[in-house]
Structure 1
Amino acid sequence: MRLASGEFLQEEMLLRGARPRVKAVLFPFDLDYGLGPGSGIFEHTQYGGEPGKLVLEEGVSSGSWTSPVMQTLSPALDTVVPVWDDQSSSGAKVYLRGAATPDQVSGASYTELLPLEASPLWPSFQVRVEFPAAGGSVSGLSFEGRLTIPESELISPGEVRVDLARDFSGLTSGRHILRLDNREAQWLPGGRNFSLLGLPFEEKRLILYHGFELPNGQVEWLPLYQGALTRLGNMTDGWQERHRVEVETEDWITHCLNRRLGAPAPEGERRPFMRGVYRARGELVQVTDPAVSAPARSGSGSAVLTVLGEYRGAVDTDFLLQITTSGEVGAATFSWSINNGQSWEKEGLTCGGADKPVTLSQGLAVFWQPGSGSDLVAGDRFTFTARAPVYHYRLAGAPFAAITTVYLNDEAVWEGVTAEPETGDIMVTGRSAQVSARVVKDNTTHPVDIMLDVLSEVGLKEAVNQESFDLAKSLTPEYAVGVCFENIPASQALREILRRTLYDLWVDFGEIKIRAYLGEE
């Protein structure tokens, strides 16, 4: 029989007499802390013009802002997690104080907060931001409230079971049911004691922690499960009923991976998720019809030129008609050119009237109407421009860094083509076609970076094990891909990338990890 090590015995002694504990926390709840123009006390500071931005006035070395006394709307919120970005690196400090009622807040002491670290929250609270040095500014300042469900209300923590395939090919949603006491109707929506009164509970999350309370009262909590709140169900609150409710959740990572990537805007505009270099197909959005400008005349003749027909040419063309022999309409002659007289398409044609129009080319014909004096004099010149139709196509996903090649019916063509990377518009003069283009969305081409962007897009940035992603990228520096995903689940987008690369992607106790396959196994 092996003897237990000293470390094992020490650990066993720590847990002797420990009491198992369970903690359930609902979040996030956005807290309004009162930052806005004219709200609160500004001391050499000013509102930055956008939510969460506060700046120190120029020419001063320090300043502060103190919020009005605010309320959480629900006394059940007991924890706050602040977030902000100190853009100036000036050492801005954020403080919080609170009390049970608004009139008690002024007598409470401020506590300094740290970004992303939880602190106690009271029903009434006040925020203070201090800038100890010149040039100070913060942006993105926000406060996330969290609700810890009283342990006395936990009837059953339920079972946690989440199954995910390593490459997400068999993604199934794990579910969890937390049974709570509802004796005071605190989980009855619309009730006076509703724990979430005044707070939206859509898109909220539940975290379950397990821990042991040591004899000295210390508790070490270990997060076991995180889920998205889907419904409050099986509620009983009647006579001789057990006054309970079930809080149903769906595994958070699965919930996020089922979100649509590249979904269209509410008004229907296409917004594909694109990275790197990709060949995108254009959609015809408008056609500018062919047109002919009003003829211009130079010379002493009085006849007026009229152009008939619809231009069928593929390029814009400048027409020149020059009178070669003087005379009246029906007797004078002319020649016409499309290169300003450097060469002539036809010469010696009779200048016909309305009853005898003269055909030129590409569907156009002309005739003259007699004037009040001499109709046509040798040397008179008539000019007009025929413009070809323009077909306007649009590539979804703009703006682009560049549009490098345009394809008409799968043939690379630039003649008669104009492309605008900023808007994704492609104009083709003279003909319609199946249009596609090779576009550069950005310089994000490494598949690890693209997968990180996919996860961030659906709200899973905090679940990423950054160390494993950095290692996978460093081991495959030559990898480069381009992607375009439109209105598909994020899990499917990840699967498409994984099929074309040598990576393993999996979830390990709420963390998304990745590993590059290098052929060792």
Structure 2
Amino acid sequence: MRQVGGEYLQEEGRLRGARPRVKAVIYPFDLDYGLAPGSGVFEHTAYGGEPGKLALEEGYFTTGSWTSPVMQTFSPNLDQGISSWESQAGYMDTRVYLRSAVSAAQVANAPYLSLTSAGEFPLAPYFQVKVVFQQTIRTWAVDSPEEADTFTAYAVNQAPEAGYESYNADGAFPGYVTKLYFEGRLTLAEKEILDPGQVRVELAQDFREVRSGDHVLVMDNRQGQWLSGSGNFYFLGGAWEGKKLALCHGWELPNGTVEWLLIYQGMLEKVAGMAHGWGDRHQVQLESQDWIASRLDRLIGVPSPEGQRRPFMRGPYRSRGELLQTIPAQVTNPVKVGSGSATLKLLGTYRGEVSQNYLLEAENTGEIGAASFRWSTNQGQSWQGSGLATAGPENPVELEEGLAVYWEAGVGNDLVAGDRWTFTAEPVVYQYQIYGAPFESITTVYLNQEETQDGVEADKDTGIILVTGRSAQVEARVVKDVTTHPVDIMADLLEEVDLSQTMHQDSFDLAKSLTANYAIGVCFENLTASQALREILQRCLYDLWLDFGEIKIRAYLGED
């Protein structure tokens, strides 16, 4: 849309002689422009391996291009288009062109229009796209300053200071264009607009109440333009579901041009009230919901299609962990060193909180029940118990933490003095998940509200916390990222629901500069965007409101 100029404001103020105008546009309709392997004419270029990516061939070239086949919009009613792309062409200048005509045969004779990213252009039913890479600078190395010409860049030793200066072109080599996208738009005939409808959006400044601004646009249907089986059907070759409706108000200026002011954007929800029979009013109603209100009703922090929780997080936050699984305590099989024939058996479940190595040693030679043993947890440096009688399965000997042992007799002497058995007991491990990973860091872990690092392992990349030896209510203070200013977080929330283009950037920049020291952390899960914004606004004292399709913000600094 064009910016409102002084002529528009002057004409709007006139009480007589002014001619009001109205324009309704339905969009977006994705246009297939034919970029694919082997499609079109490639000159020193190639398909980039993903939709919308065109890359230069490997090597050094001063120019490259791709020309698409002649493509069809599949709806003869699309009359406007918008293009966008991102250039990483390095030393190349990137230009995108388009030409269109009412028939495929006429496209070749139509002139190319030079496009701008995010710019509008007129569109006919058949079109062709051309992308051109053109070298704008050249660079090479020379051995001495005398070899340089006016185009050469070179480095000179900065002695007695150390070092050299070096430069390179921006972008990636050999260069490419990515996210190349074309969108068609349908402008409804102004003479067919019977009633532009009323525009209403109710939104409190703290976003505590959002009422959808439902809108009804009444259109003429005398030619069957809105009958899906008609050859005049507006959406011939396309679908209206999920499309937006933009309504613009304007005044025709004395020089014949019209300055348009966008006053409403909505999401089409229903084509209703259709009448096209004898004696009926030949009209149809396009029912839509205000675009901003509908997007603010979207949930953020929703689970993935597989059910994985994905909260919306920014900055530091204290989150509660969810128990994923319990890894049972384990005890290794005893390893024996000695000549006795008895076999050591273990009973019970280890209840300790740390990993523990055990050593059992026969103190004398004899049969089970007659021989004695001692046991240690530090490789025999000291003994937890000694002079203990060995026993069979009917009377096992308890050690500690739920473990007990007994022996099974063998052939010959069951135990010989100095026989040793070693085994290791591993405690139970509880695995908890802090959702929202990866994180910048996990600074603190709390078990039952108490800060601790004992027996705790935390992985910031996965959000997994392992607690060894005991179960507890687990919480962790995590840092999601460095975004902590509430204005930046609100901007991210709006971007999350595709409303970043509706932000009045100057007001957001001013609000942030006036509250530069503000810092918060947030975690929102299965919450509408409007509710999330309200939570921030109530705590940080900002006003956020809508003004003719723009979201504006103001910091409250104590003024009346």
Could you say what secondary structure the match of 1:253 adopts? helix
Q: 1:11 Cα shift?
A: 5.5
- Residue of structure 1 equivalent to 2:178: 139
1:72 counterpart residue number: 73
Q: What CA deviation, in whole Å up to 9, does each residue of 1:494-521 have, x standing for no partner?
A: 1110111122111111111111122343
Give runs of aligned pairs for residues 145-184 of structure 1, distance below 5 A: 145-184=184-223
1-structure distance, mates of 2:285, 2:507: 37
Determine helix, strand or coil for the equivalent of 1:396: coil
Return the match for 2:126 from 121, 124, 127: 124
User: 1:38 and 1:351, CA in 2 relative to 1: closer, same or farther beyond 3 A?
Assistant: farther
Task: Classify the secondary structure of the residue corresponding to 2:537.
Answer: helix
- 1:3 maps to none
Q: 1:486 and 2:525 equivalent? A: yes
Measure the CA separation in 2 of the matches of 1:327 and 1:40.
Answer: 92
Equivalent residue letter for 2:544: L
For 1:11 and 1:191, locate their aligned partners in 2 and report how far apart those are by CA, in whole Å.
Answer: 40
User: What secondary structure, in the 3-state scheme, does the structure 2 residue paired with 1:103 have?
Assistant: coil
Residue deviations 1:295-325, cap 9 Å, x none? 1112222322111111122222211111221
The correspondence of residues 323-362 of structure 1 with structure 2, limited to 5 A, is 323-362=362-401
In the alignment, is residue 224 of structure 1 matched against residue 263 of structure 2?
yes
Rate the CA distance shift 1:53–1:215 in 2: closer, same or farther, 3 A: same
Give the drift of 1:184.
Answer: 2.7
1:417 aligns with one of 450, 456, 480: 456
* Counterpart for residue 112 of structure 1: 114
Could you tell me whether the CA contact under 8 Å between 1:326 and 1:332 is conserved in 2? yes
Matched, 1:312 2:351: yes
Against the structure 1 CA distance between its residues 10 and 156, is the aligned structure 2 distance closer, same or farther, given a 3 Å change threshold? closer
Matched ranges for 1:93-112 at <5 A: 93-112=95-114
State whether structure 2 residue 446 is matched by structure 1 residue 407: yes
Q: Which residue of 2 aligns with 1:57?
A: 57
Distance 1:189 1:405, change over 3 A: farther
Q: How many residues align?
A: 515
Mapped to 2, the partners of 1:34 and 1:304 lie a distance apart of: 76
**Is 1:47 matched up with 2:86?**
no
Q: Deviations over 1:77-96 (max 9, x none)?
A: 11111111113453211111
CA distance in 2, matches of 1:202, 1:326: 89
Structure-2 change in CA distance of 1:97 and 1:9 (3 Å): closer
CA drift at 1:104:
2.7
Tell me the C-alpha RMSD between the 2 structures: 2.1
2:515 corresponds to 1:514: no
CA contact (8 A) 2:364 2:416 kept: yes
Partner amino acid, structure 2, of 1:80: G
Structure 1 SS opposite 2:32: coil
* Structure 2 SS opposite 1:86: strand
Are the aligned partners of 1:302 and 1:374 in contact in 2 as well (CA < 8 Å)?
yes
Paired residue secondary structure (2:405) = strand
Per-residue deviation at 1:326? 1.9
Cα 1:199–1:312 shift into 2, 3 Å: same
Q: Indicate the residue corresponding to 2:143 in structure 1.
A: none
| Amino acid paired to 1:432 | S
Identify the range of structure 1 (495-504 vs 364-373) with the bigger mean alpha-carbon deviation: 364-373
| 4+ runs deviating over 4 angstroms | 7-18
1:464 aligns with 2:466: no
How far off is 1:206 after superposition? 0.9
Q: CA deviation at 1:190?
A: 5.2
d(CA) in 2 for partners of 1:330, 1:190: 97
Query: TM-score if structure 1 supplies the norm length?
Result: 0.94
Alignment correspondent of 1:251 = 290
Verify the 8 A CA contact 1:177 1:249 in the aligned structure 2.
yes
Q: Give the CA deviation at 1:192.
A: 4.4
Paired residues for 1:427-466 under 5 Å:
427-466=466-505
- State the identity %: 60
Partners of 2:14 and 2:128 lie apart in 1 by 40
Q: Secondary structure at the match of 1:265?
A: coil
3-state SS of paired residue (1:452): helix
TM-score, normalised by the number of residues in structure 2: 0.88
2:300 aligned with 1:261, yes or no?
A: yes
1:230-285 deviations in whole A, cap 9, x for unaligned? Answer: 11111112222122110011111111111111122222221111000000011111
Matching residue's letter, 1:367: Y
2:506 corresponds to 1:505: no
- Tell me, which stretches of 5 or more residues in structure 1 are unaligned? 1-6
Corresponding position of 1:298: 337
What residue identity is the alignment partner of 2:134? P
Amino acid at match of 1:27: Y
1:160-194, Cα deviation, whole Å (9 max, x unpaired): 22222112122111111100112232223455443
Counterpart secondary structure, 1:77: coil
Deviation by residue 1:26-63 (Cα, 9 ceiling, x = unmatched)? 11122222222333222111222222122212223221
Distance 1:76 1:505 in 2: 38
* Residues 264-275 of structure 1 aligned to structure 2 (within 5 Å): 264-275=303-314
Q: Distance in 1 between matches of 2:418 and 2:230?
A: 94
Equivalent pair of 2:376/2:384 in contact (CA under 8 Å): yes
Residue 12 of structure 1 deviates from its aligned partner by 8.9
Q: Secondary structure at the match of 1:325?
A: coil
Match for 1:287 among 318, 321, 326? 326
- Residue pair 2:89, 2:133 contacting (<8 A) in 1 also: no
Task: Give the Å deviation of 1:375.
Answer: 2.7
